[in-house]
Structure 1
Amino acid sequence: MARTIHQGELDRDDVRQLLASHVAAMHVHSPPEACHVLPADRLHDPAITFFSVRDEGRLLAIGALKALGNGTGEIKSMRTHAEALRQGAASTILRAIVAEARSRGYSRLLLETGSGPEFAAATLLYERAGFTRCEPFGGYLPGPFTRFMSLDL
């Protein structure tokens, strides 16, 4: 596999389709008060860097890094294409985001995810990468469905 990491690409059809699928899944699997997914138009923000992973042009996974200030970033919109599940694509995109955060001199990465069974694989991915549970941040409210995680860089 010749995986490549790309920044931008929010206007590519396959990216928009995967993002739409991600947004739809988050609305199905998250209660409204705990659904913090960003649709494509909200990812066009100067504070957000959007990433994709491809293999010979085929989209494998997406994710984003949001600058929060004070040396902190937040991981947003992580999703692996259904045809790339369990092939390491999520780890590849996560490593790219962490590497970008380190290159910017960030001292910490944060994320918010769900705690239901649909989020178990994501939670395991983050835990294996060294993320640990933390307190809510950035205006998120605590709740039984929402999980907050942090990685010191």
Structure 2
Amino acid sequence: MDIKIDDLTGNEVAELVREHLQSMALNSPPESIHALNLEQLRSPEITFWSAWEGNELVGCGALKELDGPHGEIKSMRTSSSYLRKGVAKRLLQHIIEESKRRGYLRLSLETGSMDAFEPAKRLYASFGFQYCKPFSDYMEDPNSVFMTKEL
């Protein structure tokens, strides 16, 4: 698998981000959706990676710098044809390694509290993420869970 920084201009990446946003809309009420669109992902404080098997896009993930020692995982998504094949695990490893390289002391994330998000929560927990209170600009929300990991 080739994981590379992406400028978010390719059609395949745009479609995967659209799929991610549609999935969030199906599983979360609008006020609880914190997924970012293409334009928001192009923010200077966000690094976006796409993951490829040959010429096929298999997943994506992003890292947002919250402040000097704290990063946030954003936009983790596996292409539907590559679910349960280790794509998310490899992307998460990549993001954690990059966070350590940057000198972050903590890495956090927000995900949904509903059953559809159970696989993601299990993945994060398997990497040592623990449930925590809302961080950054997030507020308590029964539709969200927050997780963090000391690096």
Q: TM-score, normalised by structure 1?
A: 0.96
Match runs of 1:68-147 below 5 Å: 68-147=66-145
Q: Distance in 1 between matches of 2:10 and 2:54?
A: 15
Match runs of 1:52-63 below 5 Å: 52-63=50-61
Q: In the alignment, which of 6, 9, 13 is matched to residue 8 of structure 1?
A: 6
Percent of residue pairs identical: 42
Q: Distance in 2 between matches of 1:84 and 1:35?
A: 24
Q: Distance in 1 between matches of 2:44 and 2:69?
A: 16
Match runs of 1:32-47 below 5 Å: 32-47=30-45
Q: Distance in 2 between matches of 1:69 and 1:140?
A: 15
Q: Would the aligned equivalents of 1:65 and 1:74 in 2 still touch at CA under 8 Å?
A: yes
Unaligned residue ranges in structure 1 (runs of 5+): none
Q: Distance in 2 between matches of 1:55 and 1:41?
A: 25
Could you list the per-position Cα deviations for residues 57-101 of structure 1 after superposition, in whole angstroms to 9, with x for gaps in the alignment?
211110100000130000000000001001000001111111110
Q: Distance in 2 between matches of 1:150 and 1:71?
A: 13
Q: Distance in 2 between matches of 1:73 and 1:44?
A: 16
Unaligned residue ranges in structure 2 (runs of 5+): none
The CA RMSD over aligned residues, in Å, is 0.8
Residue 20 of structure 2 aligns with which residue? Answer: 22
Q: TM-score, normalised by structure 2?
A: 0.97
Q: Which amino acid aligns with 1:27?
A: A
User: 4+ runs of 1 displaced by more than 2 Å?
Assistant: none
Q: Would the aligned equivalents of 2:25 and 2:33 in 1 still touch at CA under 8 Å?
A: yes
Q: Which amino acid aligns with 1:64?
A: A
Q: Distance in 2 between matches of 1:141 and 1:80?
A: 27
